[in-house]
A and B are shown apart, each in its own frame.
Chain A
């Protein structure tokens, strides 16, 4: 029983990490149809922002939950204004531009911070689960994934900004004829996605260590999750994270981490073969 509980918590942690890693990408892709290949580097910037802020004496929680998303959100605003805005509707060009940006960010951060791993230690210690002990911070990550998902849902479903953003993404021309400035909506949406990416990087910094190339470890998993989930931002991310996170964690538990990742990729490939538009292309099509 204790073992089942411990494995269940590991599965939940795996799912939560996928949700946290994918949500920023899902917002930008799902709302704007922009494939941000610099998503992993936005996470890396968030992680560095948290490390720098804690180094400057700020509380780890303030650094992770406030400094990192605000800093990367502002950076995203600048990137949208200088790069993304000129490329809307040109998906391949956007991919190339954000790929170039990701290379520049990795190179620039390597020059500034070097290639050694820095980081912050995980807070909250360990928690007893029956006869086992599990990391308190991993339990926090499960709660953070739930809170983030709820926050995105509330923002999209119940706020005026969410309504305006959802309408504008469906038909920008009609939105502008009703009084909306689409450029501003795009900028805020991209910045919100960037802020979520920065927050993800900061939240995962205590688990992964912080290095300029850390984004590469997450970008593939985030993309697979978003593409497998399909068009619905939240329902897609949650359903794909639930499925792929479970397969990956159970695969890891039963064999090795490498085989866990392989099992997750196989499931994603099979699913996309059966459902080319992702999970929410077939079910939950009207969900957010």
Chain B
């Protein structure tokens, strides 16, 4: 009887403590949940953030495509990226088509989030049969600020 009363009290205390801990953690959890849902929404819409783009870069699982003009690409670009500019897409695409197969995961980037060229090129690639196309919205600004590999 005494034992059961003791274990009941302990159980109640544990429950309350757990509830208190959860209530303390819940704002952080809510933020994490929100961030996760935003990342998930971006991923679903074909957009990648910096860690996801870097993960693809490290595993060599994607072909990086620079949507800026060719002279900007010539000056600097993400290491190993190919140039496929929004302005001269039609001239550059035949070469690109020969190098990159349809099924390849393509990560298109531009200067930064405000630059529409990456989305335009991604759209054009999809129209030309490439289904696995994602946009790295942070672009070259995020990449270079993070100190990730560049060349040019």
| B is a partner of A | no
Q: Which residues of A contact B (CB under 8 A)?
A: none
- Give B residues with C-beta under 8 Å from A: none
